[in-house]
Amino acid sequence: MCTVLCTLIPMNHGNVMKYQKSFSMLNGISAQFKRFQSLKKKHKMHTEACLVGGYSYPPLFSVAPMMDWTDNHFRTLARLISRHAWLYTEMIVAETIVHQKDNLDRFLLFSQEQHPIVLQIGGSNLENLAKAAEHANSYSYDEINLNCGCPSGKVAGHGCFGARLMFNPKLVGDAMAAISANSSVPVSVKCRIGVDNRDSYNELCDFIYTVASRSPTKHFIIHARKALLNGLSPAENRKVPPLKYEYYFALQRDFPELQFTLNGGITCIHQVDSAIKEGASGVMVGRAAYNNPWYVLGHVDRVIYGVLSKSHSRRQILKKYQGYADSVIGRYGSNRPNIRQLVKPLLNLFHSEPGNGQWKRIADTALRHCKTMKSFLAETLAALPDSVLDSTLGNTPSNLEVPPFTDLNSLQPPPYRSNA
């Protein structure tokens, strides 16, 4: 529309600047329309899964699965802050689900408010993966994800597990077929762009092609770093191998029938928005969402999904979280979960705010004797100014960082040619 209007205005008219504002508005509307059409196409595969939880927003933004972090307690807090972010469980080993079939609530139960939510499982034994998926059916997750990216020695170093699975794409394809055959929801794979010296773009594409051709898998979460299984700790594996976002966008070019979510090195809502504007069909954020949930998760609904909803203050969110926490203390025994476990997700809620340091010191003391969340909050919140507790999120915080997703076309590897 903007292009047509421009052709109707003579170049020598001298009043082109007069129409600049109108053109900008038309461009904005056009961009939003194209983005909507693109999302409608790319995320059609998720519609049935989302409806399981009565939810229809696509996974534009998701919180990464993180061991010991994205437990039920953190997910409850995250959902209070963002209604539309997709949440992932911690990785749960398939054998744990199979062997704990009489105690599954402890591992799989979640409140319905947590939808949309994805269960991540780990393992390579096809029979156990199939049984785990079958056991998960009654909990109505929106998707089941297989971990093929964790470089931890506790995971990758014990048989064919985690990132080591990328060495055997046929096994992963068969595993995904087994999971899907025993599940009522879509399945996905979270992987790296490579492992050790097997890190070429063609090898990555061979993995994607093989898994997708041997199973109904249509969704891949791509951590844009390779994994080094020897010599680097899990923390170093998140920082040392270079990010290659160009591999991610090349995958979108070469596999248009699949959906890819970008993961790795993304630290703020601006970068998420930039990636989506550059064509990413989804972005996954890990530690940034955990370390600063108020600002990262707090802007997701408006900036990423364009949904204007009532803003809540931290005090209001804490009141709701208190109701949850006090209702589950000791549910699985006298010390499971305990007050310390329930307070853990709150420790970054006041990141960089006045009074944060003093609040954490008081919180450490209070945890030694408080038995309920109500008594803990009553004892500690006085350390924080009312302006921090009662303020709501305003405009998106300014960020002067250059988005890392521009001008990647020239870096993309040549198009993939399958050898199959």
Do the domain assignments include residue 32?
Answer: no
Model confidence band, residue 273 (pLDDT cutoffs 50, 70, 90): very high
Residue 100 shares a structural domain with residue 169: yes
Count of the separate structural domains present in the chain: 2
Out of 218-232, 262-276, 383-397, least confident range: 383-397
Q: Are 167 and 194 in contact (CB under 8 A)?
A: no
φ, ψ at 408 (rounded to 5°): -95, -10
State mean pLDDT over 70-96.
Answer: 97
The full length of the chain comes to 420
Q: Do 80 and 146 lie in a common domain? A: yes
Catalytic residue among 50, 148, 150, 370: 150
Whether residues 297 and 358 share a domain: the answer is: no
Per the annotation, the verdict on 150 as an active-site residue is yes
d(CA 310, CA 338): 32
The average pLDDT across 147-173 equals: 80
CB-CB contact of 248 with 194 (8 Å): no
The verdict on 223 and 364 lying in the same domain is no
Strand, helix or coil at 1?
coil
Residue numbers of the domain that contains 252: 45-308
Are the C-beta atoms of 184 and 141 separated by less than 8 Å?
no
Q: What is the mean pLDDT of the chain?
A: 86
The DSSP symbol for 164 reads G
The residue written with tokens 């998960």 in the block is: 136
pLDDT confidence bin for 13, thresholds 50/70/90 = very low
pTM, two decimal places: 0.85
The rounded radius of gyration (Å) of the Cα atoms in the chain is 23
Using pLDDT thresholds of 50, 70 and 90, give the confidence band for residue 398. low
Residue 398 in domain: no
**Residue 2: its pLDDT value, please?**
42
Task: Tell me if 117 sits within 8 A of 89, measured CB to CB.
Answer: yes
Q: How far is CA 249 from the centre of its chain?
A: 18
Indicate the helix (H) or strand (E) that contains 83. Answer: none
Mean pLDDT value across residues 98-112: 94
Residue 206 shares a structural domain with residue 258? yes
